[in-house]
Structures are given as structure tokens and as C-alpha cells.
Amino acid sequence: MTTLIVIGNSEGQRRCDAKCYDAVTPVADCDCCCGGRNHGAGKDRAMQQTADQARAWVKAYGEKYGRDGLSMILGEPAQGELGL
């Protein structure tokens, strides 16, 4: 089973995996971190949608801090980025 994304905190983790993207049950029955976006979509479509969402998150974060995705991954934190 392929896990596409995991989101978690100190209270636990939620993941998007085959239970979601191969689902045949209604999306209301899903408690996945994708919010239903990948529900029943099939693995290939869900992988593309998850990659698209990750790019959107990186873009939004970069716009907030005036940085591009690569510099965020390889570089030092921008001023305010870590709440300092």
C-alpha cells in the first residue's frame, strides 16, 4: 500500500493511502488528510493530485516569505519564517 502523504502533530497522524484513493465508499466515510480530494481517484490520479497540492503549498509558503521552493529546501530560514 502506497502512502501519498502523512500529516501529523503531537496528537497523532493522518495519512492518505490506498484506503482513500482506492475507496468505493462515500467520501463522507473518509477521515483522510487529503480532505477527500483523492477519495476513490485511483493511485495514479491521486499521486498527481497530491504532487499538485504539495507544489501549491510550497508556492503559497514561498510567496508568504518571498522565497522560491528550492531556496526554502536548501537555504537558511527567511526572517520571520520560524517565528523568530
Distance between CA atoms of residues 6 and 61, nearest Å: 18
Q: What is the pLDDT of residues 29-72, one digit of tens each?
A: 888 899 899 999 999 999 999 999 988 888 888 888 777 666 66
Residue 41 is assigned to a structural domain of this protein:
yes
- The answer to the question of residue 54 being in a domain is yes
Question: Distance between CA atoms of 4 and 43, rounded to whole angstroms?
Answer: 9
Instruction: Locate 18 and state its grid cell.
Output: 490506498
- Digit-coded pLDDT (tens) for 41-51: 999 999 999 99
Q: Is residue 33 part of a domain?
A: yes
Q: How many domains does the chain have?
A: 1
